[in-house]
Amino acid sequence: MRAVPVSKHVTWVGAVDWNLRDFHGFDTPRGSTYNAYLVQGADKVALIDTVKAQFVPELLSRIAEVLDPARIDLIVVNHIEPDHNSGLRDVMEACPNARVVASGSGVRGIAEYHDGLVVEAVGAADVIDLGGVTLDFLPAPMVHWPDSMFTYCPEDAVLMCNDAYGQHLASAERFADEVGVDLALDELKTYYSYILLPFGAQIAKTLEKLAAAGWAPTTIAPSHGVIWRGETVGRALAAYEQWGSGELRDKVVVAYSTMWGSTDALALTISDALVEAGLDVQVYDLEVASYSGLMAEMLDAKGLLVGSPTLHHGMLSRVAGFLQSLGGLLPKGRVGSAFGSFGWSSGATKQITDRLTEIGVEVVQDPYTQKFRPTEAELAAAREWAIAFAEKVKTAEA
Ligand code: FEO
């Protein structure tokens, strides 16, 4: 795969990680990319972002298709998370003449990650002139880490915004319109939900600052996945605006695991009842479901029901793992409850209820707890329980 022109002065020179299947605990069934961009002015060349260390040879060979890496004058580190920054030292060796810049927080993080490596800080007041082509900077704290920064090339109206607007999507194509905008938006949603969901307010603030700075990108070039250009830019911006608004719908995610089928029977009965009560419902068996798809559904779901049978007086470990992941991501405003079966000792539904409360879900109904296999009469009781929960979802303030 060759270096790909993005605009008159900007060229994609990143790396494609076709085989990535796990990104710090979240599944990435379509792999990912670590995008980096060359920006060429009349006098100077800048490299925006580097890549994960093992992909540095791929990055350098792609740069070499355009120019000798030793000609690079400037390396901009938009974000210090190792998927972008772990290759920095190796890239610097190949670019011995480059000055390296990052946000203030990025400078401190680079020193910590790279054993005292000293680089320069840039901020919103700085402009770096490459010779008729300039780079502007905007600190974007918590989009995704405190150090995150956006870089903008106003002459080409290209925004290089690192994790923002990214997707874990490996492909031979570089643009959203090439892979298909629906696929790109799907992956954008999944990425947002498990990387950026807790930071909706910070994202909104950064986008306000971006507009106030007069940046009006016609191309959004993130550091993961495909690039947004043309009409796809508006689609990506609108999607972030919608998700950032935190708007919730009358929708319930039912996430559960089962041991011998009783909790599964409850989950399906409860889900059917919720549908009949007029709610949008998404059902996930945690033994087989991907967390990433599930988190994407939680973006706009007002309700959450979590089910587990009891094992050793508590919930199954995969249910506990799900709640642990959820706890780190989920903003407030959701209502929930628990359900599950037990054989000789109960405990799972109480433990789930306690954990839901700890992570900020408002538990609006006592759990539904079932001994052994549910009879028809007990399934009817579970239905009634679900209908009562549906009413609480409908009346909960979003
Ligand atoms: Fe793609 Fe927060 O790193």
Q: In 3D, which of 136, 159, 138 has the Cα closest to residue 148? A: 138
Q: Could you tell me the distance, in angstroms and rounded to a whole number, from the CA of residue 139 to the centre of ligand 1? A: 15
Q: Which atom of ligand 1 is nearest to the CA of 144?
A: 2
Q: Say what the pTM is.
A: 0.92
In a shared domain, residues 50 and 107: yes
Instruction: Determine whether the shortest distance from the Cβ of 52 to ligand 1 is under 6 A.
Output: no
In a shared domain, residues 74 and 149: yes
Residue 240: give its domain's CATH number: 3.60.15.10
Q: Could you tell me the distance, in angstroms and rounded to a whole number, from the CA of residue 163 to the centre of ligand 1? A: 5
Q: Which atom of ligand 1 is nearest to the CA of 162?
A: 1
Q: Which atom of ligand 1 is nearest to the CA of 34?
A: 1
In a shared domain, residues 149 and 20: yes
Instruction: Determine whether the shortest distance from the Cβ of 144 to ligand 1 is under 6 A.
Output: yes
Q: How far apart are CA 372 and CA 137, in angstroms?
A: 61
Phi-psi region of 166 (alpha: psi -120 to 50; beta: other; left: phi over 0): beta
Output the six-digit token pair for 171: 């492909």
Q: In 3D, which of 77, 71, 30 has the Cα closest to residue 51? A: 77
In a shared domain, residues 275 and 150: no
Residue type, 210: L
Mark which of 245, 267, 292 sits at the end of a domain: 245
In a shared domain, residues 52 and 114: yes
Instruction: Determine whether the shortest distance from the Cβ of 17 to ligand 1 is under 6 A.
Output: no
Per-residue tens of pLDDT for the chain, all 398 residues: 899 999 999 999 999 999 999 988 888 999 999 999 999 999 999 999 999 999 999 999 999 999 999 999 999 999 999 999 999 999 999 999 999 999 999 999 999 999 999 999 999 999 999 999 999 999 999 999 999 999 999 999 999 999 999 999 999 999 999 999 999 999 999 999 988 888 888 898 999 999 999 999 999 999 999 999 999 999 999 999 988 888 899 999 999 999 999 999 999 999 999 999 999 999 999 999 877 788 899 999 999 999 999 999 999 999 999 999 898 887 788 999 999 999 988 999 999 999 999 999 999 999 999 999 999 999 999 999 999 999 999 999 86
Q: Could you tell me the distance, in angstroms and rounded to a whole number, from the CA of residue 391 to the centre of ligand 1? A: 39
Query: pLDDT of 297-346, one tens digit each?
Result: 999 999 999 999 999 999 999 999 999 989 888 778 899 999 999 998 89
Q: Please name the residue whose Cα sits nearest to atom 3 of ligand 1.
A: 81
Buried b (16+ CB within 10 A) or exposed e, 64-93: eebeebeebbbbbbbbbbebbbbbbbbbbe
Q: Could you tell me the distance, in angstroms and rounded to a whole number, from the CA of residue 130 to the centre of ligand 1? A: 27
Active site residues: 24, 79, 81, 83, 144, 163, 191, 224
pLDDT of residue 271: 98
In a shared domain, residues 256 and 232: no
In a shared domain, residues 181 and 39: yes
Mark which of 202, 220, 245 sits at the end of a domain: 245
In a shared domain, residues 312 and 196: no
pLDDT of residue 187: 96
Q: Label each residue of the chain as H, E or C.
A: CCCEECCCCEEECCEEECCCCEECCEECCCCEEECCEEEECCCCEEEECCCCHHHHHHHHHHHHCCCCHHHCCEEEECCCCHHHHCCHHHHHHHCCCCEEEECHHHHHHHHHHCCCCCCEECCCCCEEECCCCEEEEEECCCCCCCCCEEEEECCCCEEEEECCCCCCCCCCCCEHHHHCHHHHHHHHHHHHHHHHHHHHHHHHHHHHHHHHCCCCCCEEEECCCCEEECHHHHHHHHHHHHHHCCCCEEEEEEEECCCCCHHHHHHHHHHHHHHHCCCEEEEEECCCCCHHHHHHHHCCEEEEEEECCCECCECCHHHHHHHHHHHHHCCCCCEEEEEEEECCCCCHHHHHHHHHHHCCCEECCCCEEEECCCCHHHHHHHHHHHHHHHHHHHHCCC
Residue type, 2: R
Number of domains, the chain: 2
Instruction: Determine whether the shortest distance from the Cβ of 84 to ligand 1 is under 6 A.
Output: yes
Q: Could you tell me the distance, in angstroms and rounded to a whole number, from the CA of residue 72 to the centre of ligand 1? A: 23
Mark which of 198, 219, 245 sits at the end of a domain: 245
Residue 295: give its domain's CATH number: 3.40.50.360
Residue whose token pair is 């988190």: 295
Is residue 156 within 8 A of residue 112, CB to CB? The reply is no
pLDDT of residue 194: 86
Structural domain including 239 reads 4-245
Spell out the residues 6+ positions from residue 373 whose beta carbon is closer than 8 angstroms to its own: 260, 261, 262, 265, 341
Q: Could you tell me the distance, in angstroms and rounded to a whole number, from the CA of residue 22 to the centre of ligand 1? A: 13
In a shared domain, residues 171 and 293: no
Instruction: Determine whether the shortest distance from the Cβ of 62 to ligand 1 is under 6 A.
Output: no
Q: Which atom of ligand 1 is nearest to the CA of 145?
A: 2
Q: Which atom of ligand 1 is nearest to the CA of 166?
A: 1
Q: In 3D, which of 4, 3, 6 has the Cα closest to residue 230? A: 6
In a shared domain, residues 29 and 56: yes
Query: pLDDT of 140-169, one tens digit each?
Result: 999 999 999 999 999 999 999 999 999 999
Instruction: Determine whether the shortest distance from the Cβ of 81 to ligand 1 is under 6 A.
Output: yes
In a shared domain, residues 87 and 232: yes
In a shared domain, residues 275 and 386: yes
pLDDT of residue 7: 98
Q: Please name the residue whose Cα sits nearest to atom 1 of ligand 1.
A: 163
Query: pLDDT of 231-261, one tens digit each?
Result: 999 999 999 998 888 889 999 999 999 999 9
Rounded (10°) angle between helices 262-276 and 376-395: 50
